[in-house]
Amino acid sequence: MEFARITTKGQMTIPKRIREAAGLETGDVVAFEATAEQVTFRKIAIGEEARPDAAQGSLEEWNSPEDNDAWRAL
């Protein structure tokens, strides 16, 4: 088990061992899902077969027409 502390800005550092196990790299997009018992996250594949807007339901703060236009330009 690994631990991280949340800052006053709601940020945390994902421990190196967890990043490596999940294949996470700088710039990757992750989606979060919460239940009463746990919070999970997963890496979102960005490519021709998987577009970032597939995660829109998990990333409500990025769910605007302006953000959709920005994602399309990637």
- CB environment 18-27: b (16+ within 10 A), e (fewer): ebeeeebeee
37-55 per-position pLDDT tens digit: 999 999 988 764 455 555 5
Q: What is the pLDDT of residue 49?
A: 46
Mean pLDDT (the chain, rounded): 81
Whole-angstrom distance, CA of residue 17 vs CA of residue 26: 14
